[in-house]
Structure 1
Amino acid sequence: MSSQDSAQESGGGNGAVSGGVSGGVRAGAGAHVHRALPGDRGKSGSVLVSIGALLLGMLLAALDQTIVSTALPTIVSDLGGLEHLSWVVTAYMLAATAATPLWGKLGDQYGRKKLFQLAIAIFLVGSALCGVAQNMPQLIGFRALQGLGGGGLMVLSMAIVGDIVSPRERGKYQGLFGAVFGATSVLGPLLGGLFTEHLSWRWVFYVNLPVGVVALLVIAAALHIPVRSQKHRIDYLGTFLIASVATCLVLVASLGGTTWGWGSPEIIGLAVVGVMLAVVFVFVEFRAAEPVLPMKLFRVRTFTLSAIISFVVGFAMFGAMTYLPTFLQVVQGVSPTMSGVHMLPMVIGLLLSSTVSGQIVSRTGRWKVFPVAGTAVTSLGLLLLHNLTENSSTWEMSGYFFVFGLGLGLVMQVLVLIVQNAVPYEDLGVATSGATFFRSIGASFGVAIFGTIFANRLSTKLSSALAGQQVPPGVSTDSLKADPRGIAELPPALRQPVLHAYATSITDVFIYAVPVALLAFALSWFLREDKLRASVTAPDTTQTLASNPVERSSYDEVARALSSLGTREGRRAIYEKITARAGYDLMPAASWLVLRINRYGWAEPAVLAERSTVPLPVVIEAARQVEERRLATREGLDLVLTDEGRAVAARLGQAREDSLAELLGDWWGPERPTDLQQLVAELNKEMCGSDAERPHDGSAGLAA
């Protein structure tokens, strides 16, 4: 649809306007508009309430990825099972990762509101059961149930935003979800420590219940979205197979050398089954109508390399985040709450470098330096963490944590961005979630493998520390592993070697991760620095901090990117650009006014200024110029376009559409998809006088 068509359909004729929604209206119709205001505000308020409930749902799912880490040492002391500690984190991640694409497709088919409510219910049941768990196997099973619901909260909350707000506003609201992720990465360890220290580790899970119930009630009452059923061929078999492959391989990494020997029939059997299922998965994905992970993506070199590097980033990040609180609490004697505080430098480094690198790439188009530098700094960070001892100072630990976070952040944003740039439009959504999927799988492996190394090293080193020593009754290697709090009761001569055993067992984990990080560093040199499309912008933090992929459609991804570009440009810059492109020397505000009148049929300048954020002098000056150029005439207090004015509006609209098409680059070719054409037409209408710019709601304006 052309901009001219869209303008005419929007009421661009000599007065026809749909719904009487203009802020500036014909004389005698003012009462109608003022009667409409409360309804409009109520609708806007309903959207804000719904967004608030969605944010609560996202908060729950995101918080449970980080809040448990500081509680783990206490959980182990209470329930035992140190060798299975990693599974408290891994079970949640695996379940959420496997469930995410399924929730996305089911939401398309059966309506997202009911599915979102179901996801909250599953999550809350899992949370309640985690809180009453009596042993480690129970807790791990209930964490998997919680993760199943958490995956739905992630993907559906993001998708529902697209159902209730326009593409132009979507970037702003998705930014709020990114802020929630950033906040949870900081708040999670702190809250986990506070609940563990002052209440009980069980409150790490119980806290979800009141928040989730509020979200459930608000969603039921306030969220009204149309059920737009889209027929999908859900890849149930592919989803099941990839979850099974990941589970088998993580079980091998977690149980090998601890529960069972590496050469035991159980471990060999799990490894063989995992490999066989992987082969079947590849075969199934080649034949699936809508594969959960299309194999054709691996023909794109950039995607394949980015997937491997993403795996390594997840491996290092979540492996370290899981075991650093254990080091702080057991070795350094820090309280659970303060262990969360000690972790802040890592999170600050990560947020700082990911935000800055993403913005630099979006502005300059140069990106290769960041994955190279990021993997190098991550390797350095792991080496520094390996040097931590029981005698390390707070400043030393904070510096090492900051360097490690800095390295992770440098590479996280950019990996999603370059994958989006490397694939065709139709694969944009699945490639974005695919890149994050590999980081999530890497996280599961990192936590499991770090846990295995830690458990094995600890058994050996505790045995050495206790050998030949006068050991108090009831103290043994197994008792110190089962309850680290027993270290405080040891005599000083024995406490020091035991603390050293714990310290080196944890820090040795990081040296094993260094070769993996160096592999990613080597692979990053082989990335080809293709020129970035103008529409590829820094992803929000939901894509860089989430441990599980947030599946969005290709349409959603482009809408997000173009919306953020429009926001970054600013209203004045947008109208300056399209005015120059159309070949006119009008004021930016005059172009805005012409397009508004064209969309709604008329405008009363004084009311327009009163109801919008554009100052009255700017509107009056724009109206004067429009009248002097004979682009509009007065009918009472209202301005109505002349034939010449409608021609100018058509050229301005076409200039905006051309600008959007230019941003899309080679996606805007002869074979461009219909939904992309509809998106450009929709954004064109919104940016050139949309409902979001209605002067009566005062929610948006032109920085003229």
Structure 2
Amino acid sequence: MAEKLTKRPLVLASLVSSMFMAAIEGTIIATAMPNIVADLGGFSLYSWVFSSFLLMQAVTTMIYGKLADLFGRKPIFIIGVIIFLLGSILCGLAPTMGALIVFRLIQGLGAGAIQPIVTTIVGDMYTVEERAKVQGYLASVWGISSVIGPLLGGIIVQFIDWAWIFWMNIPIGIIGLIGVIIFFHEEVDTERKSIDYLGSSLFFIAISCLIIVFVQAGTSWAWISPESISLLLIFVICTAIFLWHEQKATSPMMPLALWKNKLIVIANIATLLSGMITLGLSSFLPTYVQGVMGESAIVAGFTLSTLSIGWPISATLAGHLVLRIGFRLTAFAGGFALFLGTFLFFLLDADKGPIYAGISSFIVGVGMGLSSTTFIVSIQNTVSWYERGVATSLNMFMRIIGSAVGAAFLGGILNMRLNHFYQQSGEDLEIANTDMLLDEGMRETISPETLASMQDGLTYALHTVYTGLFMIGTLTFVILWFFPKVTIEK
């Protein structure tokens, strides 16, 4: 397909701007949330502003990938960006927190197309030697956006208005749209296409139920509650029917033959596990640095930003390494870095300080960059044009699900161990009191004895979380021993 495409630098610039728009949306809103809550109210719905976006992105990523294989990348990309921009305009105009959540769903509906289709177009436009390097550049977009997102969000909130966090997407998205419409050309088979409506619907329902359980259970609902059990039951039933249907469908939404490819299976399992590691660190490292080490939010942000620095550097390096030492050894190097980084977190204690935490975080970022770029390029190298969209989307979907599972699983461990510590110590404390540890002003009002007990409890609980992360890191490393040796097809 590469020779059919024209103006590759201009198309790539358009794709990078679109990718940046979707990537920064995940981090820029975090800084603005206190102002949004102050304006709109609805603090009890706080987490759903993030979760609604993630939910819709997760359930549509695979569907868009299949549609891109059927109808071509260009029309699906254009539809995705237009929906995302419409959602962005509406988010800025939201009169209530409930409306904002609905509009974030629309944004997520568009975002589900952007990342996988951008990555697939790059797979189409470039040879494998070029592809490895360009996928590294795309990974850099995510690293850069996660570093500057919170800072840019803070500036916009302080000097303009929180609505511009959403409206700034409009010019960026339009530039990306124009570039792809004018300069990207592809040949798509014009014969009548068969769309797997039933498979797509079953997948949508199953994954929606699963993610809602991950978001709500352990916080709003108990894990063993009628709501959680009912949704998990719907997930199991819909998944079973989906798998049965996909075997018979003319043009299945998820070709099950992909799961017979050893490379894809290993890459996707490792991606799921590494997604758990990334979100586990993002969720709990700032809490450790602020609550246990007693450092400021800025220092906590530094320890996490090193992950975002290590990721793009090593992703770019991976583009060169796969050509020199091959996919298997590069993926293995990424697995070793994840193992080493999570082992350092397993050894973490308050005395080691934030610099140790920052270095450990950086090493995890190196592991993520080396492995994620290698997975995408190797998967795209082993499938045809007609499966490249769905295969790429499947890998990204596994990371999103890994993030959701990781947040729920590790968050559940944290709460359980913290409760256990407080019960054993006989202190009249609850998990809700932990909020005071994360507020520098409130921390000073706590008596030294209670403060010490709360920090001991948080240290105890978070050490268990980091033990869990180390086990996941070890499992990822072990799985990558089985990554097959693949010849690079030019």
TM-score (norm 1): 0.57
Q: Which moved more, 1:68-77 or 1:231-240?
A: 68-77
Q: Any conservation in 1 of the 2:32–2:154 contact (CA below 8 Å)?
A: yes
Change (3 A) 1:503 1:74: farther
2:469 corresponds to: 513
Q: How does 1:452-601 map to 2 (within 5 A)?
A: 452-458=412-418, 467-468=427-428, 478=432, 481=435, 484-485=438-439, 487-493=442-448, 494-529=450-485, 532-535=486-489
Distance, in Å, in 2 between the alignment partners of 1:511 and 1:154 is 32
1:100 corresponds to: 61
Q: CA deviation at 1:312?
A: 0.8
Is residue 322 of structure 1 aligned with residue 283 of structure 2?
yes
Q: How many residues align structurally?
A: 479
Change (3 A) 1:237 1:444: farther
2:146 corresponds to: 188
**1:467-508 deviation digits (Å, cap 9, x = unpaired):** 358xxxxxx754654995363352342344334444544453
User: Of 359, 362, 366, which aligns to 1:402?
Assistant: 362
User: Of 306, 311, 320, which aligns to 1:345?
Assistant: 306
Distance, in Å, in 2 between the alignment partners of 1:233 and 1:173 is 30
Is residue 297 of structure 1 aligned with residue 258 of structure 2?
yes
**1:121-146 deviation digits (Å, cap 9, x = unpaired):** 43244345556778877665543332
Q: How does 1:610-689 map to 2 (within 5 A)?
A: 663=490
Is residue 412 of structure 1 aligned with residue 372 of structure 2?
yes
Q: Any conservation in 1 of the 2:275–2:403 contact (CA below 8 Å)?
A: yes
2:317 corresponds to: 356
User: Of 285, 295, 303, which aligns to 2:246?
Assistant: 285
Query: Which amino acid letter does the alignment assign opposite residue 247 of structure 2?
Result: F
Q: Which has the larger radius of gyration?
A: 1
**1:528-576 deviation digits (Å, cap 9, x = unpaired):** 43xx3332xxxxxxxxxxxxxxxxxxxxxxxxxxxxxxxxxxxxxxxxx
Q: Any conservation in 2 of the 1:310–1:439 contact (CA below 8 Å)?
A: yes
User: Of 412, 430, 448, which aligns to 2:390?
Assistant: 430
Q: CA deviation at 1:364?
A: 3.2
Change (3 A) 1:526 1:58: closer
Query: Which amino acid letter does the alignment assign opposite residue 144 of structure 1?
Result: L
Change (3 A) 1:186 1:324: farther
Q: Any conservation in 1 of the 2:334–2:367 contact (CA below 8 Å)?
A: yes
Secondary structure of 1:150 counterpart? helix
Q: How does 1:28-427 map to 2 (within 5 A)?
A: 52-68=13-29, 80-81=43-44, 85=47, 88-103=49-64, 116=77, 118-127=79-88, 130=91, 141-157=102-118, 167=125, 178-193=136-151, 195-196=153-154, 199=157, 206-213=164-171, 215-216=173-174, 219=177, 223-224=181-182, 230=190, 231-329=192-290, 331-332=292-293, 338-365=299-326, 367-420=327-380, 427=387
Secondary structure of 1:93 counterpart? helix
Distance, in Å, in 2 between the alignment partners of 1:461 and 1:339 is 24
Q: CA deviation at 1:118?
A: 4.6
Distance, in Å, in 2 between the alignment partners of 1:117 and 1:396 is 44
Query: Which amino acid letter does the alignment assign opposite residue 279 of structure 1?
Result: A
Q: Any conservation in 1 of the 2:91–2:104 contact (CA below 8 Å)?
A: yes
Q: CA deviation at 1:279?
A: 0.7
The unaligned stretches of length 5 or more in structure 2 are: none
Query: Which amino acid letter does the alignment assign opposite residue 279 of structure 2?
Result: F
Q: CA deviation at 1:518?
A: 3.0
Secondary structure of 2:488 counterpart? coil
Aligned-residue sequence identity (percent) comes to 27
Q: Report the structure, 1 or 2, having the larger helix content.
A: 2
Secondary structure of 1:276 counterpart? helix
Distance, in Å, in 2 between the alignment partners of 1:74 and 1:416 is 38
Change (3 A) 1:361 1:248: same
Secondary structure of 1:151 counterpart? helix
Secondary structure of 2:150 counterpart? helix
Secondary structure of 1:343 counterpart? helix
Q: CA deviation at 1:218?
A: 7.5
Change (3 A) 1:48 1:189: closer
Distance, in Å, in 1 between the alignment partners of 2:257 and 2:74 is 33
Q: CA deviation at 1:349?
A: 2.9
Distance, in Å, in 2 between the alignment partners of 1:534 and 1:478 is 53
Secondary structure of 2:235 counterpart? helix
Query: Which amino acid letter does the alignment assign opposite residue 464 of structure 2?
Result: D
2:403 corresponds to: 443
Secondary structure of 1:393 counterpart? helix
User: Cα RMSD between the aligned structures?
Assistant: 4.4
Change (3 A) 1:325 1:176: farther
TM-score (norm 2): 0.78
